[in-house]
Structure 1
Amino acid sequence: MGYAMVLGEALVDLIETEYDGAPVYRQAIGGGPLNVAVGVARLGGAAQFVGSLGDDALAGRIRDFLASAGVGLDGAVTVPAATALAVITHAGAEPDFRFYGEPPSYGLLAADDLDVAVVEGADVLYCGSVVLLRPTVLAAARRAWSLATGLRVFDPNVRPRLLDGEAALAGLREVVAEFAAGAHVVKLSDADAALLYPGEPAEGVAAYLRELGAATVVVTLGADGAVLAAADADPVRVPAPKVNPVDTTGAGDSVMAAIIADLLVAGEPGEPAGWIERVAFALRVAGLVCESPGGATSMPTRAAVLARFAD
Structure 2
Amino acid sequence: MIAVLGECVADAFADRRPGELALRVLPGGGPANTAVALARLGASTRFLGRLSDDVFGELFRERLSASGVDLSACVRAREPSTLAVATLDAEGQARYSFHAEGTADWEWSAAELSDDRLGGVSCLHTGSLTLVREPGAGAVAAFVGRAAATVSIDPNVRPSLASREDYLERLPLWCALADILKLSADDLAFLMPDAPVGRACEILHAAGARLVVVTMGASGALVSLDGAVATVPAVPVEVVDTVGAGDSFTAGLLHALESRGLLGGRLDGLDLASAAAAAALGARVAALTCEVAGADPPWADRLTSQPAP
The answer, yes or no, to whether TM exceeds 0.5 is: yes
Correspondence 1:213 to 2:208: yes
Q: Which residue of 1 aligns with 2:84?
A: 86
Within 5 Å, give how 1:30-179 maps onto structure 2.
Answer: 30-91=28-89, 94-163=93-162, 168-179=163-174
> Post-superposition shift, 1:241?
1.3
Greater shift after overlay, 115-124 or 60-69? 115-124
Which residue number in structure 2 is paired with residue 283 of structure 1?
A: 283
The secondary structure found in structure 2 opposite 1:218 is strand
Equivalent residue, structure 1, for 2:219: 224
Deviation at 1:259, TM superposition (A): 1.5
Percent identity, please.
33
Indicate conservation of the 8 Å contact 2:254/2:278, yes or no.
no
Give me the whole-angstrom Cα distance separating, in 2, the residues matched to 1:255 and 1:18.
31
Using the TM superposition, name which of 75-84 and 152-161 deviates more.
Answer: 75-84
**Cα distance in structure 1, aligned partners of 2:147 and 2:176:** 14
Partner residue in 2 for 1:196: 191
SS, match of residue 38 in structure 2: helix
CA contact (8 A) 1:243 1:291 kept: yes
Q: Does the 8 Å contact 1:43/1:302 carry over to 2?
A: yes
Tell me the SS of whatever aligns to 1:241.
Answer: coil
Q: Which amino acid aligns with 1:151?
A: T
CA contact under 8 A between 1:288 and 1:308: conserved in structure 2? no
Distance 1:18 1:310 in 2: 39
> Which consecutive unaligned segments of at least 5 residues does structure 2 have?
none
Q: Residue 190 of structure 1 aligns to which amino acid in structure 2?
A: A
Are the aligned partners of 1:120 and 1:148 in contact in 2 as well (CA < 8 Å)?
A: no
Q: Is the 8 A contact 1:228 1:276 kept in 2?
A: yes
Rounded to whole Å, the distance in 2 between the matches of 1:100 and 1:21 is: 23
How many residues were matched structurally?
302
CA deviation string 1:224-283 (max 9, x = no partner): 1011101441x3321111111111000000111112212322214532111111111110
Q: 2:124, 2:278 → 1: CA distance?
A: 18
RMSD of aligned Cα (Å): 2.0
**Is the partner of 1:136 in helix, strand or coil?**
coil
DSSP-derived class of the 1:121 partner: coil
What is the match of residue 259 of structure 1? 253
Question: Residue by residue, what CA displacement relative to the aligned partner does 1:9-59 show, whole Å, maximum 9, x if unpaired?
Answer: 012110134679985321100100000000110111011111212221221
- Distance in 1, matches of 2:39 and 2:80, equals 27
2:154 partner amino acid:
D
Find the residue that maps to 1:175 and give its secondary structure. helix
Q: More helix by proportion, 1 or 2?
A: 1
The 8 Å contact of residues 145 and 177 in structure 2, kept in 1 or not, is answered as: no
Deviation at 1:109, TM superposition (A): 1.6
Q: Distance in 2 between matches of 1:73 and 1:124?
A: 16
Report the CA distance shift for 1:237/1:263 in structure 2 as closer, same or farther (over 3 A). closer
More displaced, 101-110 or 239-248?
A: 101-110
> CA separation of 1:140/1:92 partners in 2, compared to 1, >3 Å: closer, same or farther?
farther
Tell me how far apart the structure 2 counterparts of residues 203 and 12 of structure 1 sit (CA, whole Å): 35
The residue that corresponds to 2:238 in the other structure is 244
What is the rounded CA distance, in whole Å, between the counterparts of 2:74 and 2:48 in structure 1? 5
Deviations 1:146-188 (A, max 9, x none): 221110000000111112xxxx322211212211122110001
Q: Which secondary structure state, in structure 1, belongs to the residue aligned with residue 255 of structure 2? A: helix
User: Normalization by structure 2: what TM-score?
Assistant: 0.91
Deviations for 1:83-113, whole angstroms, at most 9, x for unmatched residues? Answer: 2100011247642111114202211121210
Classify the secondary structure of the residue corresponding to 1:198: coil
Q: Residue type of the partner of 1:85?
A: L
Contact 2:284 2:308 survives alignment (8 Å): no
1:159, 1:43 → 2: CA distance? 27
